[in-house]
Amino acid sequence: MECQECKQNPATLHFAQVTNGEKREIHVCHQCAKEKGYVTHDDESYSLHNLLSGLFNFDPEKLHHSTHNKPAGNQMECKKCGMTYQEFAQIGKFGCASCYQTFSGHLNPIFRRVHSGNTTHDGKVPKRVGKDISARRKVKELKWKLQQLIAEEAFEDAAKIRDQIKEMERTLNQREEGED
C-alpha cells in the first residue's frame, strides 16, 4: 500500500481517525507522518530490542562493562550453536534447541517476570486424578529442592525434605494399591 500523502513511498504507518462518529483511515510513510505531525519522535522508535531488554532487565552498558572485566572463558555459551547468553538477551530468541538447556539457570527469573511469577504450566487436570497429579508434581519439586540442599551441604534441611518425599510417595503408593 502506498502513502496517501506523497504517493511515492510505501505506507508504513496506519492510523484510524474518528471524527463526529465517522471513521477515516490514514496510511502514510514515516516521512509524511513526521511532516504532518502524526509522529512526534524520530530516533526514539520502540524496537523489539527495547521491548526484550525491558523484559530481561538487560542493560547494554552493564554488558559492555561486565564483558570487559571478565575473562572470555567465563562467558556462558551454547556448545552447539555458539550463541552467548548476552547475544540471547539482545536478540530475544535462541540460536538452537540446546540453548534452552545451556541457559536454563538464567531463564526462571525471566519467566517469573513475564508470566507474573508462574514458571510452570499446570494445564487442566481431571478431578478424579487431580490430587495424585498435584502430589506427584509436589514430590518432583521437593526432589529438585533436595538436590539443591545437598549441593549446598544443608544436610539437616535435606533430611527433612527427604522424609517429606518418602511420606508423600508412601501415600501415593497406598492410593494406587487401593485403586487396583
16-71 tens-digit pLDDT: 877 888 888 888 888 888 888 776 655 444 555 555 555 555 444 444 444 444 43
Q: Give the pLDDT confidence score for residue 69 in this predicted structure.
A: 43
CA–CA gap between residue 69 and residue 114 (Å, rounded): 30
- pLDDT for 139-168, tens place per residue? 999 999 999 999 999 999 999 999 999 999
* Burial of 127 per CB tally in 10 Å (0-12, 13-18, 19+): exposed
How far CA 48 is from CA of 29, 45, 99, 155, in Å, comes to: 20, 10, 20, 46
Grid cell of 63 as nine digits:
554488558
Predicted pLDDT at 89: 77
Position 117 confidence tier, pLDDT thresholds 50, 70, 90: low
Which residues, listed in sequence order, are joined to residue 19 by a DSSP beta bridge? 22
Residue 134 neighbours by CB distance under 10 Å: 12
10 Å Cβ neighbour count for 27? 17
Model pTM above 0.75? no
